[in-house]
Structure 1
Amino acid sequence: MALHVGSALTDLKPKSDREKEEESEDDSEVLEESPCGRWHKRKEQVNQGNMPGIESTYLAMDTEEGVEVVWNELQFSDKKIFKAHEDKIKNMFQNLMVVDHPNVVKFHKYWLDVKETSARVVFITEYVSSGSLRQFLKKTKKNRKTMNSRAWKRWCTQILSALSYLHCCEPPIIHGNLTNDTIFIQHNGLIKIGSVWHRVFAHELPVPDDLRTPLKVQREEHRTLHFFPPEYGYLEDGTAVDIYSFGMCALEMAVLEIQSNGEKVSEENIIRAVFSLEDPNMKEFIEQCISVAPEKRPSAHDLLFHRVLFEVHSLKLLAAHCFLNTPYIVQDTLLEEKTKRIDHQGVFASVPRKGHTLISWRYSQVSTMELDKFLEDVRNGIYPLMNFTASRPHMLPRGLSQSQEDLPAAKTPTPEPMEVETRKVVQMNCSLECKEDKARWHLTLYLKLEDKMHRHLSCDLLPNESCDTLASELVQYGFISQEDGPRMALFLEEAFHKQGVSLH
């Protein structure tokens, strides 16, 4: 008996650092590569949000950008069914790729992998390493009874900004699965909404349930049923479904937790939670969102201007975005240095009044630390400029496009042709340094692409090179798109002229 207990204790002994390191190395083993070689699938599986439609999600590495991503697999057991609806599947994924918002988990790429009897769609999405809203609220509840109102407003603004963007697409994109499990909070306070494609997969793919194993609609868990409105499942989904779900998320963020009767949250507990709110504006805001009648729920765009949220003037936000989009604001330190150079006695705004003294505001009246924090929040995407623009549709492509990587093999042993870059460059910066022999120049390029990706490129300039040849090589090797070639050549020419660089 003693020996048996001793054996059990031995089995429960904590793992050594070496054993943990070996397990970590085992998880990082590359199982598969994308046809282009850029994406490397690892052994470690991840669970990023409540996505019943996707069973296989793995951690992967983007070898071009050096960041971790999520490798998702959508399996079709019947090839004939897949082939019959292949065009619609391609169109659906192509539309998802153009969804671009700082508060929505990014959909990077997809490709088809068709076998003799089965098929699968592999798609790459942004990896959010931070926890979900549910996890964050659970940790916060241990130390607090209510959420900080300022944090609550910032979170609501970001979620609504994402919903406003999705709902203004043409056709509108309904999330349909917005809960505290599909909202993520990063360390800098940036909100990311995941599972945007969940409803598209579960409702729009025309494949019978008995043949699409990963897309079988699972019964919602009891703990999340209260996020769905009363009309859910009875009426056709509309944008009001997401507004109701958002209202429940906003309520849970405010009270940290809605008490449940076992696993299910009752209507009485929801009413009790709303009644416990002390701020009348917050209470009215949430009550509008969770109205029983769908037609009485405001749009996401209108909610952004509710008095409980509208605390940053649009002119202030526009000025911050203009400041941060200037070419010399590239690195974190430059942002801090620029704000320190401001003349504190300088006037940044004034209001002339006929027959009265001019009203002026000086920089000394504004806290530098608060300004730095606000600029940093804007820079991290917490206050998107699109919140304050007129509501207008974002057109999604209707035509069918060829799959990005429609290749039969999941991994190719031979080198693939150079990948063509299609993303546009939205910001260009460069620096030139003279080499020690003073006979050559070293060029460093900082590029920001339209999907918020950054590229840092550098090379030594040869005497016989020109701006046109440099731009052509960047296009040839897939660093910039064909359309950006002439712009890059002109940008380099202006930069060389300012530095007095001559390559001839």
Structure 2
Amino acid sequence: MAREPRAPQPAGSRALAAQPHTRRFPQVNQGNIPGIQSTFLAMDTEEGVEVVWNELLFCDKKAFKAHEEKIKTMFEQLVLVDHPNIVKLHKYWLGAKDSKARVIFITEYVSSGSLKQFLKKTKKNHKAMNARAWKRWCTQILSALSFLHACDPPIIHGNLTSDTIFIQHNGLIKIGSVWQRVFANALPDHLRSPIRTEREEQRNMHFFPPEYGREADGTAVDIFSFGMCALEMAVLEIQSNGDARVSEEAITRARHSLDDPNMREFILSCLTFNPDKRPTAHNLLFHRVLFEVHSLKLLAAHCFINNQYLMPENVVEEKTKELDLNMVMAEIRREGQPSVQWRYSEVSFLELDKFLEDVRNGIYPLMNFAVTRPLALPRALSQPQEDPQKTKTPTPEPFDVETRKVVQMQCNMELNEDKSQWHLTLLLVLEDKLHRHLSYDLLPTDNSKDLAMELVHYGFIHEDDCEKLANFLESTFHKYWSAPL
């Protein structure tokens, strides 16, 4: 199926087109996503990146129109889901074609394919998954599930299989199809027809626990599915008979083939038949097979990334130029024996840059020691639908939410000619290297916190950067206002 040259676009949306007019897009398979009639590769011409164009068709246009606002609300909330290990939903819009209605939504394109595809390729040359890679991937999947399950109410993926887990070229794991269960649950029964049930995919039925589909199922459904994914990653493939469901015997053989008792116990705890006995995603992150005390190198890297806005973009390169490579960076002194020394010449700065990039991309997430965690997304998903008549106010339409984080900030202040007012210039570098250059004439009543909140309101910065920018502005104000004129 080809994307139409004049597809409906939301106001102010990014232009999404690969080639002019009628040239067809290549169809892409971004996993087993129930209900999607067509998915194709597209180009975001604003960002210059490849994305996936998804179409969901509804035959009953009249019934669809009756629930249009509810559908819009659900997608507005799903756009807020932002986690490095979850496929991002960028934009969406609703349209009509002949007697049918449709939802079109743009998602992140993960170029290296699904976990299932990777395991099949790896199986040709290896008998088992590398233990370190297995641990790293399990950690990333659990990090995403822990995020979803900590929402209020919890977001249940409900379709976690090796077909809906994807791999980026840099090794980052992302889970997709998060939208499907939230969206399907929001639809009335007579509109659910285009949403194919997961159990229609026979070859993936072993990923779903015995209680799946019951009214009371919860986050434990995802834990069982994760356990099957972890088992499949460990053994590379669980044999099935063609397209038929994987048998219990095949799963048992796969479990018994695991040599590591900790890995076996970890997986079996997820596959417990009683959902109440299964561990949470957050607790699994601290299982002895995964958990390691963070190295100082990783802690320092996260600290550096979180505060990079205070430093120039090429700070690592500039600092290494200043170093005396013969200088001793660390030393172990031993009584009666020569000391052991490490010099800067023994450090590969290229490897350091690569490690920082991997940390920035989310490949080495820090385990969260807090019992409860504040989340950026969440509360929107739990808000009840209000009466539209009660919510009509003269308030302007909200601005687009900025999802990219600030990695660098620079600020300058100058007095005008008569020295009666300060003029503020702010340079923001976002994580995709986009630069924002903002200027503002400060009023006597302005303060750093209000200015930062205003930038969040107008969609210039991510909500998580608000406090960081406020502190940065406060230090800048103090620096200039305390200096002699």
Which of 406, 429, 451 is the matching residue for 1:426? Answer: 406
* 1:393–1:52 distance in 2 versus 1, CA, 3 Å: same
Distance in 1, Cα, partners of 2:355 & 2:186: 41
How far residue 480 of structure 1 moved from its aligned partner, in angstroms, is 2.5
Counterpart residue number, 1:412:
none
Matched, 1:323 2:292: no
* 1:99–1:38 distance in 2 versus 1, CA, 3 Å: same
Which of 119, 127, 144 is the matching residue for 2:126? Answer: 144
2:240 maps to a residue whose letter is: S
1:304 maps to a residue whose letter is: L
Distance in 2, Cα, partners of 1:272 & 1:124: 40
Counterpart residue number, 2:421:
none
Distance in 2, Cα, partners of 1:339 & 1:152: 34
Report matched runs for 1:293-304 at 5 Å: 293-304=274-285
Counterpart residue number, 1:200:
182
Cα deviation digits, residues 222-261 of structure 1 (max 9, x gap): 2211111122234532111111111111111111111223
* 1:466–1:103 distance in 2 versus 1, CA, 3 Å: closer
Counterpart residue number, 1:13:
none
Counterpart residue number, 1:40:
16
How far residue 311 of structure 1 moved from its aligned partner, in angstroms, is 2.1
Counterpart residue number, 1:308:
289
Report matched runs for 1:293-442 at 5 Å: 293-313=274-294, 317-324=298-305, 325-327=307-309, 334-335=315-316, 338=319, 345-346=328-329, 368-369=347-348, 374-385=355-366, 387-392=368-373, 394=375, 395-397=378-380, 398=383, 420-423=399-402, 426-429=406-409
TM-score normalised per structure 2: 0.74
Contact 2:95 / 2:103 at 8 angstroms: preserved in 1? yes
Report matched runs for 1:109-124 at 5 Å: 109-113=91-95, 118-124=100-106
Report matched runs for 1:127-276 at 5 Å: 127-208=109-190, 212-217=192-197, 219-234=199-214, 236-263=216-243, 264-276=245-257
In percent, how many aligned pairs have the same letter?
60
Which of 455, 459, 464 is the matching residue for 2:434? Answer: 455
Q: Which deviates more, 117-126 or 99-108?
A: 117-126
SS in 1 for 2:328: coil
* 1:80–1:295 distance in 2 versus 1, CA, 3 Å: same
SS in 1 for 2:308: coil
Contact 1:177 / 1:195 at 8 angstroms: preserved in 2? yes
SS in 1 for 2:200: coil
SS in 2 for 1:32: coil
Distance in 2, Cα, partners of 1:134 & 1:115: 35
Distance in 1, Cα, partners of 2:14 & 2:303: 34
Distance in 2, Cα, partners of 1:380 & 1:40: 25
* Contiguous gaps of at least 5 residues in structure 2: 19-23, 334-338, 389-396, 413-424, 444-450, 481-485
SS in 2 for 1:254: helix
Distance in 2, Cα, partners of 1:458 & 1:393: 30
* 1:153–1:386 distance in 2 versus 1, CA, 3 Å: closer
Contact 2:74 / 2:183 at 8 angstroms: preserved in 1? no
Counterpart residue number, 2:265:
284
| Residues matched between the structures, number | 427
1:396 maps to a residue whose letter is: R
How far residue 108 of structure 1 moved from its aligned partner, in angstroms, is 1.4
2:102 maps to a residue whose letter is: R
SS in 2 for 1:147: coil
Contact 2:308 / 2:408 at 8 angstroms: preserved in 1? no
Distance in 2, Cα, partners of 1:312 & 1:251: 24
Distance in 1, Cα, partners of 2:85 & 2:144: 6
Cα deviation digits, residues 203-238 of structure 1 (max 9, x gap): 331141xx5553243643222111111222345321
How far residue 381 of structure 1 moved from its aligned partner, in angstroms, is 0.7
Cα deviation digits, residues 266-315 of structure 1 (max 9, x gap): 11111111111111111111111111111111000000011111124276
Cα deviation digits, residues 183-211 of structure 1 (max 9, x gap): 11111110011000121233331141xx5
Contact 1:91 / 1:401 at 8 angstroms: preserved in 2? no
Contact 1:179 / 1:227 at 8 angstroms: preserved in 2? yes
Counterpart residue number, 1:17:
none
Counterpart residue number, 1:71:
53
* 1:312–1:320 distance in 2 versus 1, CA, 3 Å: farther
Distance in 1, Cα, partners of 2:429 & 2:344: 36
TM-score normalised per structure 1: 0.71
Distance in 1, Cα, partners of 2:387 & 2:359: 36
Distance in 2, Cα, partners of 1:163 & 1:27: 34
* 1:195–1:276 distance in 2 versus 1, CA, 3 Å: same
* 1:66–1:401 distance in 2 versus 1, CA, 3 Å: farther
How far residue 127 of structure 1 moved from its aligned partner, in angstroms, is 1.4
Counterpart residue number, 2:418:
none
Contact 1:110 / 1:123 at 8 angstroms: preserved in 2? yes
RMSD: 4.4
Contact 1:446 / 1:454 at 8 angstroms: preserved in 2? no
SS in 1 for 2:141: helix
Distance in 2, Cα, partners of 1:78 & 1:268: 44
Distance in 2, Cα, partners of 1:181 & 1:302: 25
How far residue 27 of structure 1 moved from its aligned partner, in angstroms, is 7.8
SS in 1 for 2:178: coil
Contact 1:423 / 1:480 at 8 angstroms: preserved in 2? yes
1:244 maps to a residue whose letter is: F
